[in-house]
């Protein structure tokens, strides 16, 4: 029997009764969900010559979380052939700012990070970004089907498209698909259908999100992550507006009104940090409300299906990691499906589960106050004699995690975990925890 991984939740590498050496011939693929992860998988598979039916549901929310892209996403935009188009309507993003208190914070520019491969990124309007990726999939040969796909059980854990979905995909697939990819996002169609086991994080926050005009920024183009008196917030500059969000306990935010609009508008005028920049700002969109749960599904594939993107797991918006995980997992899944072997699918599953695990740890460090305390200590220590000696090493590894490039590097993540645990030099992280 093949060796187990710490990431496969105690399951062996067998799936659906097949050994890790088993190999399938996958030619016809149904992808449920036309968001970034689903469209990216569709593009890669269509380029490989597969028949791809990409189910989309049509109507989308007016604004969507996930507008700030980390630099590690840019190479994927190049692979998909869309960077030039994305850059034409997006805000150039040169770095990131973290606010500890109303009067204390830090920032860094990507080009200052030693050995970084990509020194910039973009803040994107999600409606146009998502459409760009969808059009790229269609250009590659994937067929868009505007239908809300449904599932029905087959033998064991085999799944089938329901009758209406099979009929809709018939001109493309000519019958049952060889493989079904769940890219349905937080709908988690397959995971809910099969009641797959999950790990749920400790946070039970609500995210309120809107676009505003007249929001000042400390550094033009940078994404701003603000620690607030309760919860935290983001300010993401777009070309003609700013995306604003707060992530806060559900019970606390209810005190500010009965609707999402009432709650966000009143809260922004109450918190000491948001009050500074929101006094002359104007909200220009409705307020979207999201349940900010943290969830990882233990398995990413079965006998004839796999999960990708948020349908596999979602950690937290704090480091903009969701889109990166989606792009990474889309490419990895496409490679596994072209291989057709369970061994390749196991590697894919382990890769995504490890990504979700390391980003969960980083989010935990942020919420506990340890990460911000380490940042604050680092700003002081770097100006000391020993700090100057160590500064290059830390600047090479720490910022690269938050650009996305270092998140899969075991040493970089190990250094982050070590410093958040042992490198606070007596400072109490409770002072900067997210309440």
Residue 18 lies in a domain: no
Backbone dihedral angles phi then psi of residue 12, each to the nearest 5 degrees:
-75, 175
- What's residue 19's pLDDT? 46
Q: What does each C-alpha distance from 80 to 26, 64, 217 come to in angstroms?
A: 22, 21, 31
Let me know whether 341 and 373 are in one domain. Answer: no
Let me know whether 343 and 312 are in one domain. Answer: yes
Let me know whether 318 and 405 are in one domain. Answer: no
Let me know whether 56 and 133 are in one domain. Answer: yes
Let me know whether 59 and 163 are in one domain. Answer: yes
- A 10 A CB-CB count for 9 gives 16
Q: Tell how many helices (H) and how many strands (E) occur in the chain.
A: 14, 18
Query: How far is residue 398's CA from residue 96's CA, in Å, rounded to a whole number?
Result: 13
Domain edge (last residue) among 361, 381, 408: 361
Residue 417 lies in a domain: yes
- What's residue 383's pLDDT? 64
Query: How far is residue 138's CA from residue 142's CA, in Å, rounded to a whole number?
Result: 5
Let me know whether 346 and 381 are in one domain. Answer: no
Residue 165 lies in a domain: yes
Domain edge (last residue) among 361, 380, 395: 361
Residue 247 lies in a domain: no
Residue 321 lies in a domain: yes
Cβ-proximal residues to 296 (8 Å cutoff; 6+ apart), any chain: 198, 199, 312, 313, 315, 353, 356, 357, 360
- What's residue 24's pLDDT? 81
Q: Is the dihedral angle over the CA atoms 281, 63, 128, 359 positive or is it negative?
A: positive
How many structural domains does the chain have?
Answer: 2
Let me know whether 324 and 395 are in one domain. Answer: no
Let me know whether 354 and 379 are in one domain. Answer: no
Backbone dihedral angles phi then psi of residue 321, each to the nearest 5 degrees:
-85, -20
Query: How far is residue 265's CA from residue 256's CA, in Å, rounded to a whole number?
Result: 9
- Domain containing residue 74: 28-79+128-197+295-361
Let me know whether 45 and 72 are in one domain. Answer: yes
Domain edge (last residue) among 327, 361, 395: 361
- What's residue 21's pLDDT? 55
CATH assignment of the domain containing 184: 3.50.50.60
Let me know whether 379 and 417 are in one domain. Answer: yes
Residues paired with residue 32 on neighbouring β-strands, in sequence order:
55, 182
22 CB-contact burial (10 Å; exposed 0-12 / middle 13-18 / buried 19+)? middle
- What's residue 391's pLDDT? 67
CB 303 within 8 A of CB 19: no
Question: In the sheet where 305-307 sits, what is the strand order?
Answer: 143-146, 51-56, 28-32, 179-182, 305-307
Residue 333 lies in a domain: yes
* Separation of CA 196 from chain center: 21
Mean pLDDT by 10 residues, the chain (435 residues): 34 42 85 97 98 90 91 98 98 97 93 93 97 98 96 91 96 96 95 94 90 95 96 96 96 94 96 93 95 88 97 93 96 97 96 95 96 87 64 78 91 92 92 95
Residue 425 lies in a domain: yes
Let me know whether 307 and 353 are in one domain. Answer: yes
Residue 202 lies in a domain: no
Let me know whether 69 and 141 are in one domain. Answer: yes
Query: How far is residue 39's CA from residue 276's CA, in Å, rounded to a whole number?
Result: 40
Q: What is the pTM of this model?
A: 0.91
């Amino acid at each position: 029997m093949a060796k187990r991984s710490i990431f496969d939740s105690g399951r062996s590498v067998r799936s659906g009764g097949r050994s890790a050496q088993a190999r399938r011939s996958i030619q016809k693929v149904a992808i449920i969900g036309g968001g970034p992860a689903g469209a990216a998988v569709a593009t890669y598979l269509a380029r490989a010559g597969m028949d791809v039916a990409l189910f989309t549901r049509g109507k989308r929310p007016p604004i969507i979380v996930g507008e700030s892209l980390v630099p590690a996403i840019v190479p994927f935009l190049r692979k998909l052939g869309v960077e030039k188009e994305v850059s034409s309507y997006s805000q150039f993003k040169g770095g990131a700012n973290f606010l500890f208190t109303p009067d204390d914070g830090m920032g860094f520019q990507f080009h200052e990070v030693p050995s970084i491969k990509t020194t910039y990124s973009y803040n994107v309007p999600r409606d146009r970004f998502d459409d760009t990726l969808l059009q790229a999939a269609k250009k590659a040969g994937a067929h868009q089907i505007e239908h809300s796909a449904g599932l029905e059980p087959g033998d064991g854990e085999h799944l089938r498209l329901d009758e209406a979905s099979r009929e809709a995909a018939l001109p493309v697939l000519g019958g049952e698909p060889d493989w079904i990819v769940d890219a349905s996002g937080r709908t988690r169609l397959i995971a809910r259908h099969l009641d797959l086991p999950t790990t749920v994080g400790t946070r039970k926050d609500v995210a309120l999100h809107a676009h505003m005009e007249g929001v000042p920024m400390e550094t033009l183009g940078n994404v701003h992550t603000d620690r607030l008196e309760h919860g935290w917030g983001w300010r993401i500059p777009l070309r003609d507006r700013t995306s604003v969000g707060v992530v806060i306990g559900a019970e606390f935010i209810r005190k500010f009104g009965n609707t999402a609009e009432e709650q966000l508008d009143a809260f922004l005028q109450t918190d000491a940090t948001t009050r500074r920049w929101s006094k002359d700002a104007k909200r220009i969109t409705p307020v979207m409300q999201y349940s900010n749960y943290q969830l990882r599904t233990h398995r990413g594939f079965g006998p004839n299906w796999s999960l990708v993107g948020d349908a596999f797991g979602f950690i937290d918006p704090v480091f903009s990691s969701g889109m990166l995980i989606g792009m990474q997992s889309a490419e990895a899944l496409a490679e596994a499906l072209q291989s057709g072997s369970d061994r390749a699918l196991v590697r894919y599953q382990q890769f995504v589960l490890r990504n979700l695990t390391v980003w969960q740890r980083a989010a935990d460090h942020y919420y506990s106050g340890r990460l911000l305390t380490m940042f604050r200590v680092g700003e002081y220590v770097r100006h000391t004699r020993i700090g100057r000696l160590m500064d290059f090493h830390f600047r090479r590894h720490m910022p690269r995690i938050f650009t996305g490039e270092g998140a899969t590097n075991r040493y970089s993540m190990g250094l982050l975990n070590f410093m958040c645990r042992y490198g606070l030099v007596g400072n109490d992280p409770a002072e900067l925890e997210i309440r």
